[in-house]
Structure 1
């Protein structure tokens, strides 16, 4: 009866509280000042939470929800980047259960609804005094990110007014229909967006260029790594330069670090020599 009661009340997010079931450490906790872990939480078992190991109620962390390449339910190929973002002071909620290798369980498509559900969950946890995440999240600063097909999932759910920034990795909708998104879904975007693509060998680059041309209602950045291809630099330690550039964007958009603006608005890429960057509507 007690187990049944717990199951029933945990259908209501505000009554559930997070408890870390297991975790792992990637790249020795990341390159940032917060030592990060990748964790499974009992009340959100179909996701991975990349987060500082130690949470402090006096430091409210911006939130990033990440949808994976292929619209799959695994963030394993992106864990170097996602862990490193977390180490710079972010709560990253990625779609799909924890994995220790890409073939340790069957993979499936992740539903678009998992994106707003992640925001619902962290909102409830941050308000729940019983949760480890109590008062840990800055709910005024939430980003959605997606790689390849995950970017289409971003566009399909981008109208969510709780979102204040978007990151499209190796993704663009162009004239396609994917994950219930199409060209009309660009109008769902209501906050600044950055596209990060991998040059002429990235199959998403041409579509991303079309999106950049067509988006004229929100601030937008187009960042093109000349040689990375569709797989970016995600398998490199700390996620490589895709991760570094994403953190610069997040620190600007979600932490108001205005010194990062010139990198994106003036294309000053001394620290990102492989990238071409342009912007409009700022």
Structure 2
């Protein structure tokens, strides 16, 4: 597989990264996912601080068929995506290059629970842009860096919101999360210290996925949606609580809806977009989902 080949990377101000980087660890999750582009989870020697989920056959993607980028912040701001591997792998299997904050999860034993920072989302974008532009990289011209999604769950959703003003971002996903209506007096270590004015920095279509009234982030997320009046925003609620469906096979309903959103926003897939447009939108046909849509400029046709 081409992504297993060594390739030249860059030298950063922080010091020399491996000049001949390579995949140092990899694992196939759920037989590669349900999509047509069977995925693999891996660690790259030039980005050991993150976990990559990408189609196994990276060589089929090039200038004519690129992979949009999705970067992800984890629940609890954990520095490893161990709660979200099924979900992230599933998205990648539908033709996306996904980078999660933190080291690759182990197959068993204690998982990494150290905290991460929002800066790692930006670092993932920086790294991907550099790889995409490097003619010696296995990822050269395989990534569509004009179409970038940033998303996260719970504390990771706040991380996504903290970097939402980055002009390179094409769409935003805030899952089981929302900015606190009343700021916490003692926030968790690593939790972004942002208030509702941060919503003004959002410049892209935005998807909120919440776990219904039993989700501890429900009120915060719904309050965000009420106060976002300058960009298209869609909120879907499934009454599963704060944990979502990330650990279910292929990431469950949250993965299905998030993938459709990214297909629409990052690939211009209008069929996938029918889940979110219309009166009512397609999501309303799935039992137990409720929704609200705001500020959509695209035709709201049934």
TM-score, normalisation: structure 1: 0.92
Select the residue among 237, 240, 248 that pairs with 1:236.
Answer: 248
2:81 to 69, 75, 81: 75
Q: CA deviation digits over 1:24-79, x for unaligned, max 9?
A: 00010000000100000010001100000111324210000000001110101100
For the 8 Å contact 1:68–1:149, the answer to whether it is kept is yes
**How far did residue 258 of structure 1 move?**
1.2
Deviation at 1:253, TM superposition (A): 0.3
Please tell me whether residue 134 in structure 1 is matched to residue 140 in structure 2.
yes
The residue aligned with 1:200 is: 213
Work out whether 1:44 is the aligned partner of 2:47: yes
* Cα gap change, 1:12 to 1:252, in 2 (>3 Å): farther
Aligned with residue 266 of structure 2, among 235, 240, 254: 254
1:122 aligns with 2:128: yes
- For these two proteins, the number of residue pairs brought into alignment is 276
Cα contact 1:145–1:167 (8 A) shared by 2? yes
Tell whether 2:230 aligns with 1:217.
Answer: yes
Specify the alignment match of 1:3 in structure 2. Answer: none
8 Å CA contact retained: 1:48, 1:94: yes
Deviation (angstroms), 1:187: 1.2
Could you report, residue by residue, the CA deviation over 1:200-253 in whole angstroms, capped at 9, with x for unpaired residues?
11111111110010000111001001x211111111110001000001101110
User: Aligned pair in 2 of structure 1 residues 17, 130: CA closer, same or farther (>3 Å)?
Assistant: farther
User: Whole-Å Cα distance in 2 between the matches of residues 17 and 273 of structure 1?
Assistant: 50
RMSD of equivalent CA atoms: 2.1
- Alpha-carbon distance in structure 1 between the residues aligned to 2:77 and 2:240: 21
* CA positional deviation for 1:9: 3.2
Q: Which runs of 4+ in 1 moved over 4 A?
A: 10-18
Contact kept in structure 2, 1:74 and 1:95, CA below 8 Å: yes
Aligned-partner Cα distance in 1 for 2:286–2:19: 43
Give the alignment's TM-score, normalised by structure 2.
0.86
